[in-house]
Structure 1
Amino acid sequence: MRAAVIGIGSNSVRSLLVDVAGTEFKRLRRDREGTRLFAGLDEAGNLDRESMEKTVAAVRRMASDAAHQGAEKLAIFATSAARDAANGTEFMATVERETGIPLRIISGEEEAELSFLGASAAAKAERCGMIDIGGGSTEIAIGTPAGIESAFSCQMGAVRLYRRLRLDRKEDMKPVEVAAAEILDEKLREYPGLVLPETWVGTGGTFTTLAAMALGQPWTNRTNVQGTVITCEKIREIGEKLAGMNVEERKQLPGLQPSRADIVVHGICILLGVMGRLGMDRITVSEWGNLDGYITKNYCCDSL
């Protein structure tokens, strides 16, 4: 069966087209377009017209592409920005009107679960934790192949903290790290018995950017990104290097996707804050994420 899923994130719209056979699937095509939906949230919590139109246009294009590629099933879900939006119902109706496909806004917990299902295989461990740093939120989940033990979402993402905290030089990194650690610490109070795993995996643009830069390869070259292990020391080194550059200088770096140049250091600071709070010294990068998890959960037989 050929299936596709489109995920509307706070920073970008992404799609994945696969062929499913039993419990496995083969990735055929993936697409991404930066739309910064979260940046369209105004002071009243409403998504502005421009951000919605840009996002809906990307979804419409990807849905059309999937249909032309023979997708028999197509699903669309949205995450943090749509969850936060006061006019989320209007946004849902617009997406369905333009594509003919219902949009489902998923909870932070479900987003964490989907990301874990997609990314955890990269850890190659019986029990692991997963971190997914997005534009509006960061999801964390812990589990094993038999099931997920805990999954939650924190209100901190690269775009969200970019709008909240100025970061023009490496000395500005610490306040962002502290803010991320404090947000996580508040969430962890809801999980007093949480047992942390030894192995962690990370998914999302912050992680693939770090992997590309650590490997010294262009961001368009996905070779060796999956399964790359990056130490906290290396992450800080890359973060400080980027923090010492302006946005235009960052855009010239081959390992950095230009559309992430302004928010990338905020994403790195979130990661450093989380790693410090959870006592991590390294993390494994996964190219697979919540789109893959959605396929696994909804289209693969005998999935979790």
Structure 2
Amino acid sequence: MVQGKYAIVDIGSNTMRLVIYMREKSGRLKEIENVKAVVRLRNYLTEEQVLEDDGVNLLINTLHTFQEVTRHYKLDDVKCVATATIRQAINKEEILERVSKETDFAMRILSEYEEAYYGYLAVVNSTSIENGITIDIGGGSTELTYFANRKLINFHSFPFGALSLKKQFVKGETPTLEELMNLRNFLSTQFSTLDWLKNKKLPIIGIGGSARNMVQIHHEYVNYPLAGLHQYMMNVDEVHLINTYLQSLSFEDLQRVEGLSKDRADLIIPAVEVFESLMEFVGADKFVLSRKGLRDGVFYEKLTKEFGVTLFPNVIEESFYELATDFQINVNHVFNVTKTALTIVELLNKSGLVSIDKNDVNLLKRGAHVYNIGKYIDAESSSQHTFYLLANRTIDGLMHRERLIIALIASYTNKSSFKQNIRLFNQWFTKEELTKYRLLGAIIKFAYSLNATNRNIIKNMELQVNDDTLSFFIVCRTDFKPEQYQVEKQKKHLEKIVKKSIQVHFSYQQFS
């Protein structure tokens, strides 16, 4: 580590990568370099499990390329990990020695457990999924884990990956129907060896390049309106659709598919077959992509140990802390606004005018935390920036739909801008849900106007309901004129949703 930079070299069976991260003020690791080399070391592993000299030389030459980059960044302590192909090679000790002598790197060969564990660790520290099955298809192995209540319960490493499956079952560039049937039977037999896998009916969380490519293809195929792939979700029918679509194409057409890396064109169908077969075996109805995988897991282990824990206690809270740090959010102000907003919710619920449940309250708290965050970029167009930032920035722990809801609430200014923001996503929500999000946004906006000068002046608040009027009685600790001015400007948005006129009566009472 130099100047808050971390680097890792990941030596896979299909690709090798050098990734450099910058540790930001919040502690978040931001990727600043990602150098990829498609080396397919698996093709140099003989049936006797010897990595041929040509493969070892290719490995060394690629590491020389990577070290030019790490030297440029003045990175001396670079983690270097190798997975299935090196692990399975009987000449791995010679390979380790050559890497140590001829490059800047000290290569560490991960065990089957470590490779599976780091993938699991990345998933549970970057999503809010409590129970699930992870799958990481490499070139030469496939790692599965089962976790419950965020704890690792079982793991297994199969000695096959996208490259080895292609080599074993597919003679040409694309599989024939008979080859696909043979592959499916093989996968079913392999999965059947794990008694902890059958009919778990849990989401499948995909890690690695093959999972990412499948999701990217679907993203382009459906013209998905949000940016970002982490926590992207596909149902079982959508996975089948993409599998069928890919199998209908010639190899030349496969190479031109939007979202598919050209170097994976010959591997994507065997990989998607693995995903679909696993979903069928597990009885899963959802496939979720984790952009965080083995490399991230290595660093999560380091970062969490700094705090004496293995897992972040709450992934979403960690993400909102990062947002607060990155965008210089005044946390004390947020606390006071949230407190005011919750009081308003309680009064409105008691009046019977609205029904805001526990889940809605959680949305309100998160929306209040990042309300108008776009002012960090530009105060004049803060609402537009707020919506775009939150809708398109990866927020660990929030699925895409949840992220969009927070963006709608936190960017709320009026019905017109809300309708503009929701235009591409109307089919995602019911009319009742959209009305609820408008209400939550209007409550937060009202609460912010009551804390306009960040002085925490509100001592007490009461509500009186008449036929066509809501009367708020607010007792303040000090002069309230700035807040009164803002409330009169902003109350109309809440009035339109509750369909009543709102009167706000301020009074000043000196407290000791």
TM-score, normalised to structure 2's length?
0.54
Partners of 1:195 and 1:298 in 2: CA distance: 34
Q: Which residue of 2 aligns with 1:80?
A: 84
- SS for the counterpart of 2:34 is strand
Q: Which residue of 2 aligns with 1:14?
A: 17
- Alpha carbons 1:127, 1:197 under 8 Å: kept: no
The question of 1:118 aligning with 2:122 is answered: yes
- SS for the counterpart of 2:10 is strand
Gaps of 5+ in 2: 311-512
Partners of 1:100 and 1:151 in 2: CA distance: 33
Alignment counterpart, residue 95 of structure 1, candidates 89, 92, 99: 99
Counterpart residue type for residue 51 of structure 2: L
Q: How does 1:110-189 map to 2 (within 5 A)?
A: 110-121=114-125, 123-143=127-147, 147-166=151-170, 168-170=175-177, 172-186=179-193, 188-189=194-195
Counterpart residue type for residue 64 of structure 1: E
Partners of 2:295 and 2:112 in 1: CA distance: 14
Partners of 1:116 and 1:81 in 2: CA distance: 21
Structure having the higher Rg: 2
Counterpart residue type for residue 45 of structure 2: L
The question of 1:251 aligning with 2:255 is answered: yes
Q: 1:228 to 1:128 in 2, by over 3 A?
A: same
Q: Which residue of 2 aligns with 1:266?
A: 270
- SS for the counterpart of 1:156 is coil
Q: Which residue of 2 aligns with 1:35?
A: 39
Per-residue deviation at 1:71?
A: 2.9
The Cα RMSD (Å) is 2.5
> Is the strand fraction higher in 1 or 2?
1
Q: Greater CA deviation, 107-116 or 291-300?
A: 291-300
- SS for the counterpart of 1:298 is helix
Counterpart residue type for residue 8 of structure 1: I
Per-residue deviation at 1:114?
A: 0.6
Same amino acid, percent of matched pairs: 21
> Is the helix fraction higher in 1 or 2?
2
The question of 1:25 aligning with 2:29 is answered: yes
Q: 1:195 to 1:184 in 2, by over 3 A?
A: closer
Gaps of 5+ in 1: none
Per-residue deviation at 1:52?
A: 2.0
- Alpha carbons 2:201, 2:284 under 8 Å: kept: no
- Alpha carbons 1:168, 1:246 under 8 Å: kept: no
- SS for the counterpart of 1:216 is helix
- Alpha carbons 2:124, 2:150 under 8 Å: kept: no
Partners of 1:279 and 1:272 in 2: CA distance: 10
Q: Deviations over 1:32-61 (max 9, x none)?
A: 211101111112211122222222222222
- Alpha carbons 2:19, 2:35 under 8 Å: kept: yes
- Alpha carbons 1:169, 1:244 under 8 Å: kept: no
Q: Which residue of 1 aligns with 2:441?
A: none
Partners of 2:156 and 2:124 in 1: CA distance: 15
Per-residue deviation at 1:232?
A: 2.2
Per-residue deviation at 1:252?
A: 1.5
Q: Which residue of 2 aligns with 1:216?
A: 220
Counterpart residue type for residue 264 of structure 1: I
The question of 1:55 aligning with 2:73 is answered: no
For these two proteins, the number of residue pairs brought into alignment is 297
The question of 1:297 aligning with 2:301 is answered: yes
TM-score, normalised to structure 1's length?
0.88
Counterpart residue type for residue 158 of structure 1: A
Partners of 2:178 and 2:167 in 1: CA distance: 18
- Alpha carbons 2:11, 2:83 under 8 Å: kept: yes
Per-residue deviation at 1:250?
A: 1.1
Per-residue deviation at 1:249?
A: 2.3
Partners of 1:215 and 1:50 in 2: CA distance: 38
Q: 1:112 to 1:23 in 2, by over 3 A?
A: farther
Partners of 1:130 and 1:207 in 2: CA distance: 11
- SS for the counterpart of 1:236 is helix
Counterpart residue type for residue 15 of structure 2: S
- SS for the counterpart of 1:4 is strand
Partners of 1:139 and 1:74 in 2: CA distance: 24
